[in-house]
A and B are shown apart, each in its own frame.
Chain A
């Protein structure tokens, strides 16, 4: 059985959801501006991407009520909004979950704007991969930046491995949450929008 990830699993058309989602989107945009002003490029990129992705369905459909489910937007925004609340290891785990949520928003928006299609399980795998790759690139770029400009970076290999471990946990938790959500959706609408060849 093959089924492309249906847009309706993510895009809602309800007033309450839209209000909450837009509020979170505005917070993300504010967080992005604040991060730009305080020269935190990673936070700025994440918050900016989150705001753009969260706003995309409504803009594309030209209807302000067509938005992502607010809990997913919240998941993506959580570590950026509560930066100080989760320090250290837990913070990176939460960031991992958040990057996974951003990855899923990206998959949904790609499905709406391009010919990219994924099955639900492929989307889950992809989102976990994105989380791991994100932390890898983040480390690579901060390391380059640190050696060029002399800013601070992690001190030891152990610290780096804890960051990677936390990101892996976050990615797996995020992917797992989506997996459970997809299974529930599949049970609710068996065989809906059947596509594919098999």
Chain B
């Protein structure tokens, strides 16, 4: 790793992105656009998850992982915001690869969680054993399954919003779009399955310590 992104700078970057998320949420409220405000607001809450784990349970996630999560929610929120440079269109609307990028990025976070949990369980008990090849398959299965559930959530939220006459918070554009989402989710999962192992051992060791502390 180049020393460009030191842990210190990663933490600073997380703060900067959080401030920007507050800004996006504020603009969303100012524009009277609940989709922008809600997506940025929920993203902001998610970006505080690492800090919350640290404060309440003493569970430390490295600054790099906090940055990874925050970047994923930030890029999603940014994509929903109408931008002056784009004739007040959103990045999701104008940039064909934005949706693919955010899907790959957020599903890599999902795969990361799946990996950390599975590896901790694997170490915790002899009754669960997941050799590397199985772990690889399990991650791809998990990411795809999560993607399907996510598309269902998007769909039913928009149905409920329709029924209640409320605004659209998450958008499903078309059949092709949904299928492509699944493809790019798989890509994100694949990246974690191939390269994520070494980066995530810290998290799963931490989880393992919790399980062992609670057990016996």
- Measured CB to CB, the residues of A under 8 A from B are 2-4, 110, 114-119, 122, 126, 128-133, 135-137, 139-140, 143, 154-157, 159-161, 164-165, 167-168, 195-198
Which B residues lie within 8 Å of A110 (CB)?
Answer: 134
Which one, B140, B149, B155, B179, contacts A139 given CB within 8 A? B179
Asked whether A117 lies within 8 Å of B128 as measured between CB atoms, the reply is yes
Asked whether A140 lies within 8 Å of B125 as measured between CB atoms, the reply is no
* Contact flag A133-B145 (CB < 8 Å), given A2-B126, A116-B130: yes
- Per the bound structure, the CA–CA distance linking A143 and B83 in Å amounts to 33
Which one, A114, A131, A198, contacts B125 given CB within 8 A? A198
What's the nearest-Cβ distance from chain B to residue A50, in Å? Answer: 18
Asked whether A132 lies within 8 Å of B131 as measured between CB atoms, the reply is no
Asked whether A133 lies within 8 Å of B175 as measured between CB atoms, the reply is no
In chain B, positions 51-73 with a C-beta closer than 8 Å to chain A are: none
Asked whether B125 lies within 8 Å of A129 as measured between CB atoms, the reply is no
B-side interface mostly: helix
Asked whether B182 lies within 8 Å of A139 as measured between CB atoms, the reply is yes
Which A residues lie within 8 Å of B147 (CB)?
Answer: 136
- Per the bound structure, the CA–CA distance linking A97 and B24 in Å amounts to 44
* Contact flag A161-B155 (CB < 8 Å), given A130-B141, A197-B124: yes
Q: A2-B127, A110-B134, A117-B127 are known contacts; what are 18 more A-B pairs with Cβ within 8 Å?
A: A4-B127, A116-B130, A117-B126, A129-B141, A136-B147, A136-B182, A140-B182, A154-B175, A157-B174, A157-B178, A159-B175, A160-B178, A161-B155, A164-B148, A168-B152, A197-B125, A197-B126, A198-B124
Show 24 residue pairs from A and B whose CB-CB distance is below 8 angstroms, ordered by the A residue.
A2-B125, A3-B127, A4-B128, A110-B134, A116-B129, A116-B131, A117-B128, A119-B125, A122-B121, A122-B128, A128-B145, A129-B145, A135-B148, A136-B182, A137-B144, A140-B179, A160-B175, A161-B152, A161-B155, A165-B152, A196-B126, A197-B125, A198-B124, A198-B125
Interface size classification for chain B: 20 to 34
* Contact flag A119-B152 (CB < 8 Å), given A140-B183, A157-B178, A160-B175: no
In chain B, positions 142-169 with a C-beta closer than 8 Å to chain A are: 142, 144-145, 147-149, 151-152, 155
In the complex, whether B136 has a CB less than 8 A from a CB of chain A is no
Q: Which 9 interchain pairs have the tightest Cβ spacing? A: A132-B145, A133-B144, A2-B127, A117-B129, A2-B125, A136-B144, A129-B145, A133-B141, A196-B127
